[in-house]
Chains A and B, each alone.
Chain A
């Protein structure tokens, strides 16, 4: 499992935020107040409205449009709050690292130093933060300023819907296909890129995705692109080449789809290698290579639901430029009891990381102590430690999710308009404006139906353990 996670995070290590989130709206200040939101309870209840407050002792107060007074709820059964119109994180520096913590937190920032078991870093919520290395799972370093091109959806703005504007409907952070039609957007794709999305289906479905499409409002076999088909239990990829027609690159089965109705898909397109890889729930399904080279020339992506019935929901869509690194071997074979440093030339060094100072990382290997320039390092994977769990008697934590995929767990003390305060077990006391939070997950480490962004509550068979 640890290895699979690595494969996923590897991509987003490149998606370091540069303050250039395209898909996240930048609302006016007054719009942030009482942002529209969706409250999800662990019993499957869902309520639109707005969050008034969360107080450690009092619980959560929720304004619902049909309620005579704010609903006051204990936090025991609160699963998540999903906010509309999250603002991009405000930072005055360019982050070059992405920190992954053993408790699932992800933070983009800069590594200032590492010594004596402590990492010093800067992030949007602090210029001189300190974290125990024991809490770190890995750090990835970007070789260049990769960009997150889109994260959403948060509405239909910027999207092109086919013949019937109601055929794809936006609701609560997701696109719902009400019929056979297309949904396209120009993401400005140019180089290698990665597309991620959650797909939920009901019964028989067929979804085609045109990658690097030149036309986003129609199927255009006169231009070159790649077509990815996802159906019940299988995926396939076609090359569409202007003047030559369509050629099947291959097909692969996804057996897990047969017993699921929701999965997270990731499509990694490497233009240099002319490869397209598909992952389902973090597991590589197949990687196809176009022996004729990468033919697609467009910059858009088009989703096309091919059945008339209301059968598909797309959510948590992320599109990012990608450095093209695809290293399943390094991930899956990495030893878990030592630190591993991955280098730009695909070498790796195992041992015990001693320090990071003055642009060099020092590692004690079995043979010698090495000092490696940080410019050569792409990732540091720390030895596995005991799983991070809530300490006995501690307040249950929340995890705040931010635009760009960052996530931060902390004990929530107080949430009021304009300010949230809490205590992170990694960073200590925190205080920040919650306007950038796009989702708040409660008890993320507990056995909750909403443990991760891709794990929504299952209304059917919830009590039966073999059904997830």
Chain B
């Protein structure tokens, strides 16, 4: 029996793969911060400093003087305007025994401690006893396309189907596109053979969006009258509404085929979600993930219908929709599997990317190599082949949360629970069990929850 780790760890790992290089000292943050109280109150402004004894100092441009709040009444602080790390400096995630996750460059392991070089706190020595798991990360792949950006490069189409009485356009606004009426927009983003197309969708009321994949035609197509439309080649139409997703291969002169419906109950009570469409053209596979969860994988038993490399978003006119954070990545054909930890292990365990599992004491880890003593043989394994390393050690008991206990969420993913001593514009100081005294850059965290919990911001909102 194995214990599974939420998919969030993998998301965090992906984010950590984009961690930033250390930069100069603190800079004024252009974004606003948000303070959430345990009673559900919220207050925007700017975090001045946190001193668990003296309170949390909060600034606003319309305040006559900074406010000071008791930290015990606070649930969470969210820090805005922190630049997203871009250069790749992390090649692994270390998950601690308490579930915390820290990303960084793996310098090594000597049987006693993991040495991690981090952009947020310098070199950290993490004792074996508090390490639950080491996840080496593959090198990140650059995005093929990021958008939507502005209108340049996009083709705006007019939706003029008979059933549409009120057509409009997608509107570009602050890097996102919005539609409140029937609207079409398309672009040749050069979809590769193996693609991961990701975007965020926000909506009001009911929505119905049709996404054309691998199309060569950049104007909307009325499926009811497709035979009489201008020549458009073939494409896949992924139709999404708050209740279900349908996939249809569309060819001008062939009858419409439905490849199946995927229920999307998880959207019923939401107003936003992250969508990820994965395509393996050679295997004629199209898959849909919503908020990181695979909801459906379709396989077209006929030939691949798409004849182009463009995409088209068509809002069907109901509700109001916002689409943002559009990214196109090369896909490696793999779906992220939940990470599992071997329970009650008495010896270290290494899992390889090919599915093999090696049990035995890990003698050493170097940036490029793992050394494991298995069956009295010392195995040297390239780290690029290793999926995860579990270290067998009796974890120390989790200390009881105090008024100083906070959980900081790193800007590039991952989190750490620690006793906060001081937080101001110069940096953050604290102490964590097994890690000792810690010092972090002021931009290390974009979110902090008090009392070691998950905060109540979601409730407050």
Contacts and interface: CB of A to CB of B under 8 A. Distances in A.
Contacts of A259: 180, 204-205, 318-320
A59 B268 CA distance: 43
B205 A73 contact: no
B145 interface: no
Contacts of A59: 64
Given A43-B44, A67-B68, A48 B39 contact: yes
Interface string B58-74: 00101111011110011
The contact size tier of chain B is 35 or more
Given A44-B42, A464-B171, A67 B64 contact: no
B456 to A, nearest CB: 13
B320 A47 contact: no
A1 to B, nearest CB: 20
A71 B60 CA distance: 11
Interface string A432-468: 0000000000000000000000000001110110110
A310 B63 contact: no
Interface string B308-336: 00000000001110100000000000000
Given A233-B206, A463-B173, A71 B269 contact: no
B132 interface: no
Nearest to A68: B68
A74 interface: yes
Contacts of A368: none
Nearest to A458: B204
Contact of B319 (A74, A76, A258, A463): A258
A65 B461 CA distance: 20
Contacts of A310: 269
Contacts of B74: 66
Contacts of B44: 41, 43-45
**Most chain A CB within a 10 A radius of its CB, from B32, B64, B73:** B64
Contacts of A64: 41, 69
A203 B204 contact: no
A67 B64 CA distance: 14
Contacts of B202: 460-461
Nearest to B178: A464
A405 to B, nearest CB: 28
B271 A202 contact: yes
Contact of B180 (A45, A204, A233, A467): A467
Contacts of B318: 258-259
B320 A461 contact: yes
Given A45-B42, A66-B37, A466-B178, A460 B271 contact: yes
Interface in B44-64: 44-45, 55, 60, 62-64
B267 A203 contact: yes
Interface in A251-265: 257-261
A260 B204 CA distance: 6
B242 interface: yes
A171 B320 CA distance: 28
A46 B320 contact: no
A242 to B, nearest CB: 35
A16 B242 CA distance: 44
A204 B242 contact: yes
**Most chain B CB within a 10 A radius of its CB, from A74, A257, A260, A466:** A466
Contacts of B3: none
Interface in A37-87: 41, 43-48, 58-59, 64-69, 71-74, 76-77
B270 interface: yes
Contacts, number: 116
A381 interface: no
A464 B319 CA distance: 15
A248 interface: no
A232 interface: yes
Contacts of B319: 258-259
Nearest to A69: B68
B180 A463 contact: no
Contact of A467 (B64, B204, B206): B204
A45 B62 contact: no
A45 B270 CA distance: 22
B43 to A, nearest CB: 5
A311 interface: yes
A259 to B, nearest CB: 4
Interface residues of A, number: 42
B32 to A, nearest CB: 8
A422 to B, nearest CB: 21
B362 to A, nearest CB: 46
Nearest to A75: B62
A47 B43 contact: yes
Contact of A459 (B67, B70, B270, B461): B461
A67 to B, nearest CB: 6
Contacts of A76: 62
B174 interface: yes
A309 interface: yes
A443 B419 CA distance: 44
Contact of A65 (B67, B73, B205, B320): B73
Contacts of B178: 461, 464, 466-467
A72 B63 contact: yes
Given A46-B41, A261-B271, A467 B320 contact: yes
Nearest to B205: A258
B242 A203 contact: yes
B68 A74 contact: no
B271 A203 contact: yes
Nearest to B56: A66
Contact of B62 (A47, A74, A257): A74
Contacts of B62: 73-74, 76-77
A204 B268 CA distance: 6
Nearest to A172: B40
A460 B319 CA distance: 14
A225 to B, nearest CB: 29
A310 B267 CA distance: 13
Nearest to A262: B204
Contacts of A463: 173-174
A461 B60 CA distance: 23
A11 B80 CA distance: 47
Contacts of B205: 232-233, 257-261
A241 to B, nearest CB: 33
Interface of B: 32, 37, 39-45, 55, 60, 62-65, 67-70, 73-74, 171, 173-174, 178, 180, 202, 204-206, 242-243, 267-272, 318-320, 322, 461
28 contacts: A41-B43, A43-B44, A44-B44, A45-B45, A47-B41, A47-B43, A65-B39, A66-B37, A67-B69, A68-B55, A68-B69, A72-B65, A73-B62, A73-B63, A77-B60, A203-B242, A203-B268, A203-B271, A204-B243, A257-B205, A258-B319, A260-B204, A260-B205, A309-B269, A310-B269, A464-B322, A466-B178, A467-B180
Instruction: Give me the 10 closest cross-chain CB pairs, A-B, nearest first.
Output: A66-B73, A72-B64, A203-B269, A258-B205, A309-B269, A68-B68, A74-B62, A259-B320, A66-B69, A45-B43
Given A48-B41, A464-B173, A466-B320, 6 more contacts: A45-B44, A58-B64, A77-B62, A259-B180, A259-B205, A260-B205
